[in-house]
């Protein structure tokens, strides 16, 4: 699994996350996923498969998060924005799941994506 260790000023902490970003005007979610993956990690996917769409906080927000599986990655070079502090790391799925269990991964979208992939998508 390709994870990011990213400093989030709002909480004042470094946290582990899957690559993510905001959909720009006129952009489809799959285009956002591809763009953000390249910008933040430098990896370009040959294939993106939509896994699920979630509402992280439906009682207070209309925000939707679209989760994609990126496969056959090729390194092209990251293009971080000026205010981004991101380190990338590769970990086996088993280690990512252990990071959730230990509380090292606390980002909700990342937890949902990894557990979903592990329980429902892997091998399908």
Q: How far, in Å, are 1, 65, 86, 124 from residue 94 at the CA level?
A: 9, 24, 22, 18
What per-residue confidence (pLDDT) applies to 78? 76
- b/e burial code for range 95-120 (CB count within 10 A of at least 16 → b): ebbebbeeeebebeebbbbbebbeee
Distance from C-alpha of 11 to C-alpha of 64, rounded to nearest angstrom: 21
What per-residue confidence (pLDDT) applies to 96? 98
Domain limits, the chain: 2-121
> Catalytic site residues?
82
Q: Which CATH architecture has domain 2-121?
A: Alpha-Beta Complex (3.90)
C-beta separation of 34 from 48 below 8 A? yes
What per-residue confidence (pLDDT) applies to 123? 59
Mean pLDDT by 10 residues, the chain (124 residues): 94 96 96 95 96 96 96 88 84 97 98 95 64
């Amino acid at each position: 699994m390709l994870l990011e260790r990213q400093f989030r000023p709002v909480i004042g902490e470094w946290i582990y996350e899957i690559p993510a970003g905001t959909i720009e005007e006129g952009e489809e979610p799959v285009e956002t996923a591809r763009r953000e993956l390249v910008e933040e990690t430098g990896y370009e996917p040959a294939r993106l498969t939509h896994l699920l769409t979630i509402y992280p906080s439906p009682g207070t927000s209309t925000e939707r998060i679209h989760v994609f599986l990126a496969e056959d990655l090729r390194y092209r070079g990251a293009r971080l924005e000026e205010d981004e502090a991101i380190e990338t790391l590769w970990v086996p799925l088993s280690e990512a799941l252990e990071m959730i269990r230990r509380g090292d991964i606390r980002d909700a979208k990342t937890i949902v994506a990894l557990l979903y992939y592990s329980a429902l998508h892997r091998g399908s």
